[in-house]
Amino acid sequence: QQQVKQSPQSLIVQKGGIPIINCAYENTAFDYFPWYQQFPGKGPALLIAIRPDVSEKKEGRFTISFNKSAKQFSLHIMDSQPGDSATYFCAGGNQGGKLIFGQGTELSVKP
Amino acid sequence: ETGVTQTPRHLVMGMTNKKSLKCEQHLGHNAMYWYKQSAKKPLELMFVYNFKEQTENNSVPSRFSPECPNSSHLFLHLHTLQPEDSALYLCASSQDGSSLGAGELFFGEGSRLTVL
């Protein structure tokens, strides 16, 4: 019930492409869904987050789409750049609780 | 210094050694966390401290012993570790560990641990 399942495990796209990373959760008590970005040798950093009262949130080239009934959410990166190459983690959490992370997606954007 | 600082960045230890990882946050946060990051696995929460009190121990073996002397410092004491404990250990902080949804986790760069 606590798991967050993330796919794909790795993803390669060409510059300008739109990589999509998907996550599914089980715990209906989750009310906070962040995405973290991690570059090699660095700790994860918050990229964008959404709450279940909206179906989409956009910040710059990054968009979260959220489907509450399906318990799924996804990250879309528009006009991807080589500098977006990193590992992306989705997570679910709630007040008073811990964040449960997905297993990560290693994204490579080729020039 | 700003953010969350972890030392050492790399550590190699034998199974009989005793060592400690240190984390310091300069963000004025009240909650601190230890996470374990292994390849191809989700980030695993180990311990949570909120206002210096431990509020979460995620069934972590006793060979890992956390210490939080104040809201700015967090230690992870290591003894008689196993090779499978080799991983990246990440420290994080947040404004308040009881209202995670209102804030984000700020991570350090991690301590890469190798147990021989």
Task: Report pLDDT digits (tens) over A8-54.
Answer: 999 999 999 999 999 999 988 888 899 999 999 899 999 999 988 89
User: Could you give the CA distance from residue A93 to residue B102 in angstroms, rounded to a whole number?
Assistant: 11
Chain A residues 57-86 within an 8 A CB cutoff of chain B: none
B5 near B106, Cβ under 8 Å?
no
Please name the helix (run of DSSP H) or strand (run of DSSP E) that holds residue B13, with its range, or none.
strand B10-13
φ/ψ (deg, to 5) at B85: -80, -5
Neighboring chain B residues of A9 at a CB cutoff of 8 Å: 40
Neighboring chain A residues of B92 at a CB cutoff of 8 Å: 43
Per-residue pLDDT of chain B (116 residues; tens, 9 = 90+): 569 999 999 999 998 889 999 999 999 999 999 999 998 788 999 999 988 899 888 889 999 999 999 999 999 999 999 999 999 999 999 887 665 544 588 999 999 999 99
Within 10 Å of residue B30's Cβ, how many Cβ atoms? Answer: 18
Which residue numbers of B have CB closer than 8 Å to A's CBs?
A: 4, 40-43, 45, 48, 56, 58, 90, 92, 98-102, 104-110
Residue of B nearest to A33 (CA): B101
CB contact under 8 A, B42 and A100: yes
φ/ψ (deg, to 5) at B75: -120, 155
Q: Which amino acid is at A107?
A: L
A60 by Cβ neighbours in 10 Å (0-12 / 13-18 / 19+) ranks as exposed
d(CA B66, nearest CA chain A) in Å: 17
